Amino acid sequence: MEIMEMPNIPKTKNDPIKQYSGLIHFAIQVGSITRVKELTDEFKRDGFKVVSEPRITGDGYYESVILDPDGNRVEIMA
């Protein structure tokens, strides 16, 4: 299994919820609010941790955030 986390970030600070340093997240634009909701529900059913349920953010995007198997944040956005 290949680990995709940055190795130089101490484990005590590599909390994907607190985001101390390193890669914060990557985003995937899926085209519609409906698709954001569908994918978030699908990932949740498959056992992925949902960090942020679908919502409109302060910068006006509709998005949700999940953690991938390595603990990296993945933003699903319309």
Residue 2 resides in a domain: no
> What pLDDT was estimated at residue 58?
86
For the question of whether the overall pTM of this predicted structure is more than 0.75, the answer is no
Structural domain for 35, as ranges: 26-77
> Is it the case that residue 66 has pLDDT exceeding 80?
yes
Give, in order, the Cα–Cα distances in Å from 72 to each of 2, 13, 17, 34, 42: 13, 14, 10, 24, 18
pLDDT, greater one: 3 or 36: 36
Give how many domains the chain has, as a whole number: 1
Task: Quote the CA–CA distance of 15 and 72 in Å, as a whole number.
Answer: 10
CATH number at residue 56: 3.10.180.10
Residue 69 resides in a domain: yes
Total Cβ atoms within 10 A of residue 4 = 11
Residue 21 resides in a domain: no
Residue 66 resides in a domain: yes
